[in-house]
Chain A
Amino acid sequence: QKEVEQNSGPLSVPEGAIASLNCTYSDRGSQSFFWYRQYSGKSPELIMFIYSNGDKEDGRFTAQLNKASQYVSLLIRDSQPSDSATYLCAVYGSGTQGGSEKLVFGKGTKLTVNP
């Protein structure tokens, strides 16, 4: 089982819609969860982090965490064309499954927001 899984997409939404990005992880001991945005040819940029179950809102972005289901999501409200990028889910491993404590990335979901 892959450690961090995301739908590769592409996910296409119209401008102004809500974009929903999903991620599941295998390490049940993980405590820290991150969403990075990566524009084509650029470096990953941290946009959200969440540690506790529930929702965390920051502007148009909401991160949702459900540790029982091992599921993290990112909602982008009022999507803009400038949100078009690849979104990387990252989970900080606990080191309890034979691996070291490290940030493990999913393969990313490519989001396109159409004007």
Chain B
Amino acid sequence: DTAVSQTPKYLVTQMGNDKSIKCEQNLGHDTMYWYKQDSKKFLKIMFSYNNKELIINETVPNRFSPKSPDKAHLNLHINSLELGDSAVYFCASSPSTDTQYFGPGTRLTVL
């Protein structure tokens, strides 16, 4: 059984479109995260939710909007996609605030 799952695995879209990435964890963790890994492989946190409440919101354009319908799900919606948004987006979850387990990633390509 997949502990942290993301859909879709690949996403190719045109500039200006709006897209969503979904994440689900079946580990019973309270905290979930979104990370962005750029072409240079640098992994950086974007958002963190604890029990559906936003606790970390890094300097991310407001075109990115996370939504947590319940503590097992954290979705990421991106408006007006730009070329620079192309990256791999990882969802992660943790039972506490430090040990984190990552999903398989969503490779977003903006054309």
List A residues at the B interface (Cβ < 8 Å): 32, 34, 36, 38, 42-46, 49, 86, 88, 92, 100-105, 107-108
Contacts and interface: CB of A to CB of B under 8 A. Distances in A.
Interface of B: 40-45, 48, 55-56, 58, 90, 97-105
A46 B70 CA distance: 25
A35 to B, nearest CB: 12
A88 B37 CA distance: 12
A42 B45 contact: no
Contacts, number: 45
B101 A102 contact: no
B43 A44 contact: yes
A90 to B, nearest CB: 8
Given A102-B48, A102-B56, A108 B100 contact: no
Contacts of B101: 46
B43 A34 contact: no
A42 B107 CA distance: 11
A41 to B, nearest CB: 8
A29 to B, nearest CB: 13
Given A43-B90, A100-B56, A107-B41, A32 B98 contact: yes
